[in-house]
């Protein structure tokens, strides 16, 4: 049986734990023996920057003037196989998601953030092995992966995944990461073309999402706070604004990946062409 002082000690330590949790929650700066502190960062309007996951210099205004109808006509056998594979996956995903646009977007982003990371990682390893510069392509592909992950962080504010969706994501990631890793090792040319077509489908999906918002099928809710800061949107931005900027991002990824595949099609390596760093 516990004695009274023990119970009191336990209560005090619980209170202390709660205080620490509150401090973490309130973004209080935790003092560090290692001298690691985050300097106070402010928005352009002088208000305090609330995010640790990205900084104001990572945020940008999306170029929404990009052509969202552009399509790469498959020419080579590689192109045709990549195009048909993506179209087949599209049929499967349409059967599964039907008109659940938010859920579709969230699941899509868990996959879309993989290729840039795999491509960037493999180019990084190649640079180490061959003592070669990458021409900026490591950074460009990792930027793409990060941008896709921010799409996911935005979408998850709007759609809460169920346990079976989480299980599906878990399984899909295990399969897709490993399959894409081998795919990129065997043929970066085909892998980038495949991603180019995936991005074309992402543009189509977000266009359908926008149509559903405009027709009132999907409620045009206020934009999540993270999206307002990441894309420097107005404070009263809505879901429609968010989907518009995400669609513009996807169109940029489409161009980057088709461009990368074109470089390989010309018998060249990526490092021989300027990498689209900071291309939004």
Q: Which residues bind Fe ion (CB under 5 A)?
A: 109, 112, 148, 151, 199, 250, 253
Shortest distance in whole angstroms from residue 274 CB to Fe ion: 20
Ligand-binding site membership of 253 (annotated): yes
Pick the closer one to Fe ion by CB: 49 or 97: 97
Contact 231, 61 (CB under 8 A): yes
Pick the closer one to Fe ion by CB: 172 or 216: 172
Pick the closer one to Fe ion by CB: 21 or 168: 168
Ligand-binding site membership of 109 (annotated): yes
Residue 232, C-beta contacts closer than 8 angstroms, at least 6 positions apart: 59, 60, 61
Alpha helices in 98-187, H assignment, sequence order = 101-130, 137-158, 163-186
Between helices 137-158 and 101-130, what is the axis angle to 10°?
160
Pick the closer one to Fe ion by CB: 247 or 264: 247
CA 71 – CA 241 distance, rounded (Å):
24
Ligand-binding site membership of 200 (annotated): no
Pick the closer one to Fe ion by CB: 204 or 269: 204
CA 212 – CA 218 distance, rounded (Å):
5
Q: To which H or E segment does residue 10 belong?
A: helix 4-25
Ligand-binding site membership of 165 (annotated): no
CA 134 – CA 120 distance, rounded (Å):
10
Shortest distance in whole angstroms from residue 3 CB to Fe ion: 58
Any idea what the Cα angle at residue 192 is, between residues 138 and 151, rounded to 5°?
70
Shortest distance in whole angstroms from residue 48 CB to Fe ion: 28
Q: Which two tokens stand for residue 65?
A: 């003037």
Residues annotated within a binding site for Fe cation: 109, 148, 151, 199, 250, 253
Residues annotated within a binding site: 109, 148, 151, 199, 250, 253
């Amino acid at each position: 049986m516990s004695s009274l002082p023990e119970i009191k000690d336990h209560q005090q330590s619980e209170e202390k734990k709660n205080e620490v949790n509150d401090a973490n929650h309130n973004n209080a700066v935790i003092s560090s023996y290692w001298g690691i502190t985050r300097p106070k960062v402010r928005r352009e309007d002088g208000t305090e920057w609330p995010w640790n996951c990205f900084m104001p210099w990572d945020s940008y205004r999306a170029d929404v003037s990009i052509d969202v109808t552009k399509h790469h006509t498959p020419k080579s056998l590689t192109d045709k196989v990549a195009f048909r594979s993506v179209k087949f996956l599209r049929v499967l995903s349409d059967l599964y998601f039907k008109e659940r646009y938010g859920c579709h977007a969230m699941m899509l982003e868990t996959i879309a953030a993989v290729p840039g990371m795999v491509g960037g990682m493999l180019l990084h390893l190649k640079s180490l092995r061959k003592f070669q510069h990458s021409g900026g392509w490591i950074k460009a592909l990792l930027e793409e992966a990060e941008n896709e992950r921010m799409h996911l962080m935005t979408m998850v504010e709007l759609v809460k995944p169920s346990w079976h969706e989480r299980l599906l994501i878990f399984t899909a990631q295990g399969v897709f990461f490993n399959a894409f890793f081998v795919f990129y090792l065997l043929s970066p040319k085909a892998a980038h073309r495949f991603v180019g077509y995936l991005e074309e489908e992402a543009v189509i999906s977000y266009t359908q999402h926008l149509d559903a918002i405009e027709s009132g099928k999907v409620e045009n809710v206020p934009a999540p706070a993270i999206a307002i800061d990441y894309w420097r949107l107005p404070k009263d931005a809505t879901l429609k604004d968010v989907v518009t900027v995400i669609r513009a991002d996807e169109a940029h990824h489409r161009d980057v990946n088709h461009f990368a595949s074109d470089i390989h099609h010309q018998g060249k390596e990526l490092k021989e062409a300027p990498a689209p760093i900071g291309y939004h």
